[in-house]
A and B are shown apart, each in its own frame.
Chain A
Amino acid sequence: MKGWLFIFGLLAISTVLLPLLNLWVPEESNFHIPDYMFPLIGKYLCYALVALAMDLIWGYTGILSLGHGVFFSMGGYAMGMYLMRSIGKEGVYKSDLPDFMVFLDWKELPWYWYGFDNFIFTLLVILILPGLLAFTFGYFAFKSRIKGVYFAIITQAMTFALMLLFFRNNTGFGGNNGLTDFKRILGYSLQDPSTKMSLYIITAFVLFSSYVLGRYIVLSKLGRVLTAIRDAESRVMFSGYNTIHYKLFIWTLSAFLCGIAGALYVPQVGIINPSEMQPANSIEMAIWVAVGGRGTLSGALVGAGLVNGAKSWFTVAAPDYWLYFLGALFIVVTLFFPKGFAGIFTKLLSKDKWRESA
């Protein structure tokens, strides 16, 4: 099964065809895609990017992170800070400071907010900070040979600690309300359908490029070294590879992609708050990958779509049962379909059952 061709097509369709269906097809038509759909699909694409990042580190390299919510939130908060600064004096208090600072009776901008009125600066922070945090964290963790469940627990603790920190008002990121009420990005109103469409297209394009990059990596010798680390790390070391470097590379890249996903998510969803760093959120990211299929990039993307699609439906139709369903889904998939939906597809459609498709 050429899973990658399917995903390739799907991504091409979402980047090009969906916007065309919105712009060129008349509103009366059944094929018209309404404006409000784009931020929603855009949100899913951000989740798909997270799943991709998660799959590289967990599915391919066998390192389970339960703290990817942190990297996602860092990208999100950085973007949120820029969007807050872009509000200017149009906030409720007509002040130059963000509303929550006025509310806390702060007189001036904390130093770590400096620079976020500049988009280029913000972009650099988004591209560098999550990766830098991951690199530092990973350097010490991998050097101390922390792995498996211990690594998962430490990352979970990291996201929990940062969530508590961000919940505090005097940390300076809006406390439990987080950052919201954004008005515009780069001068364009966020309410404007064409802005929403542009954000959507950028997201789809970034996801597409990341998929191509991820595919290039997993098909290179580097990818084979990563799966070898997953399967028999000591053999890789005795074969002369410094596995710490390999793990650091893919771990940092994963966090980098996750940060970008967060930054794209915030302007489309309109809010970022500490609940994104809830331990449960990071666990859910792992479930996307498990459901879709660990160790196949297409599986991760499909998994993110399926689980979030189910979530959107459940939280409207039967909100009380969502978590039960999620838990049950996770158990069923882990027990009966260890390779997730991708595994089911490969089994059905291919004679060559043993090779993992990327």
Chain B
Amino acid sequence: MTGAHIKDDLVDTTHGCILYLEEITVSFDGFKALNGLNLYIDEGELRCIIGPNGAGKTTMMDVITGKTRPDYGTAFFGQNHDLTQMTEYEISHAGIGRKFQKPTVFLNHTVFENLELALHAKKDVWHSLTKSLTGEQKEIIEDDLETIGLKEQKNLRAGLLSHGQKQWLEIGMLLVQDPKLLLIDEPVAGMTHQETEHTAELLKSLAGKHSIVVVEHEMDFIRSIANRVTVLHEGSLLAEGKMEDVQNDQKVIEVYLGS
């Protein structure tokens, strides 16, 4: 893969919009996981995506990160990155970070090493073999450890962290990647009430600097962070707007909230 389809390394958001999904359709053996989905995310926005199981939330994340190719439709990051033509690592380099539904961190590495691996830097074989962390890079990691509250665990093997701590570590890994768009899949699944609150604070403090898309089931959590909510149903957009409006939307109540 050459960079021919990446016209400019920077993400062009002159129109205020960072992510454009248009008419995205993905089918698996005839089942349409996504069906003509349209979604636009503004720069600096914190958006929550909700929807019942099988609504296509994770598939949408897969399309944005290059894991799944859409059968039809366009996906642009800024106005100049065609996501359907890029590989996972190119998309990551362009500035999209993803947190998986199940916390995915490197269990045999320490917390610090996890962040070191994620850190925004040259990531080719030669640099990895010959370069070690600069003082400045170490500082970035230390700051990040502070943000996610894992300073004391930095030399602990990530496999020994609690579930909530793993979730934070993964968010921390996204942050040191310095992405422009963060995709976060179920950040508070399995978290205690206190941990959930802490996560909400964390995400709110990140909005503005980054655009954030959160997929979540936990309604209280969404109420506490989101100003705009998108509801997916059967692979397409059902409703979009403020949380209060969406909650009172008759269609939404039928398929999701009411159940």
Contacts and interface: CB of A to CB of B under 8 A. Distances in A.
B58 to A, nearest CB: 13
Interface string B82-121: 0000011100110001101000111111000100111010
A241 B87 CA distance: 10
A337 interface: no
A232 B98 CA distance: 14
B125 A245 contact: yes
Contacts of A222: 125, 128-129
B88 A238 contact: yes
A136 to B, nearest CB: 18
B123 A240 contact: yes
B160 interface: yes
B92 A224 contact: no
A207 to B, nearest CB: 21
Interface string A222-249: 1011011001101111111111011001
Contacts of B177: 239-240
Contact of A228 (B67, B89, B106, B157): B106
Contacts of A234: 67, 88, 100, 104
Interface string A331-346: 0000000000000000
Contact of A217 (B129, B132, B159): B129
Contact of A236 (B93, B117, B129): B117
Interface in A175-233: 217, 220-222, 224-225, 227-228, 231-232
Report the contact-size class of chain B (Cβ under 8 Å from the partner).
20 to 34
Nearest to B170: A235
A133 to B, nearest CB: 20
Contacts of A355: 157
A55 to B, nearest CB: 15
A90 interface: no
Nearest to A249: B125
B131 interface: yes
B19 interface: no
Contact of B117 (A228, A245, A249, A356): A228
B65 interface: yes
Contacts of A238: 65, 88-89, 92, 97-98
Contact of A237 (B88, B108, B120): B88
Contacts of A246: 125, 128
Contacts of B89: 237-238, 240-243
Contacts of B117: 221, 224-225, 228, 236, 239
Contacts of B254: none
A232 B105 contact: yes
Nearest to A355: B157
A221 B98 contact: no
A111 interface: no
A354 interface: yes
Interface residues of A, dominant DSSP: helix
A307 B90 CA distance: 44
B136 interface: no
Contact of A354 (B97, B98, B157): B157
B121 to A, nearest CB: 9
B173 interface: yes
B93 A221 contact: no
B249 to A, nearest CB: 34
B108 A227 contact: yes
Given A227-B108, A238-B88, A220 B65 contact: no
B152 interface: no
A231 B106 contact: yes
Contacts of B97: 238
A224 B113 contact: yes
Contacts of A249: 125
Nearest to A225: B128
A224 B157 contact: no
22 contacts: A221-B116, A221-B132, A224-B113, A224-B116, A224-B117, A225-B128, A228-B117, A231-B109, A232-B104, A232-B107, A235-B104, A235-B106, A236-B117, A237-B92, A238-B97, A240-B89, A240-B93, A241-B123, A245-B124, A354-B157, A354-B159, A354-B160
Interface of B: 65, 67, 87-89, 92-93, 97-98, 100, 104-109, 113, 116-118, 120, 123-125, 128-132, 157, 159-160, 173, 177
Q: Pick the 3 closest A-B CB pairs, nearest first.
A: A240-B92, A222-B128, A237-B88
Interface of A: 217, 220-222, 224-225, 227-228, 231-232, 234-243, 245-246, 249, 354-356
Given A221-B129, A221-B131, 18 more contacts: A217-B129, A221-B116, A221-B117, A224-B116, A227-B109, A228-B106, A228-B117, A231-B109, A232-B106, A232-B107, A237-B89, A237-B92, A239-B118, A240-B123, A242-B123, A243-B89, A249-B125, A355-B157
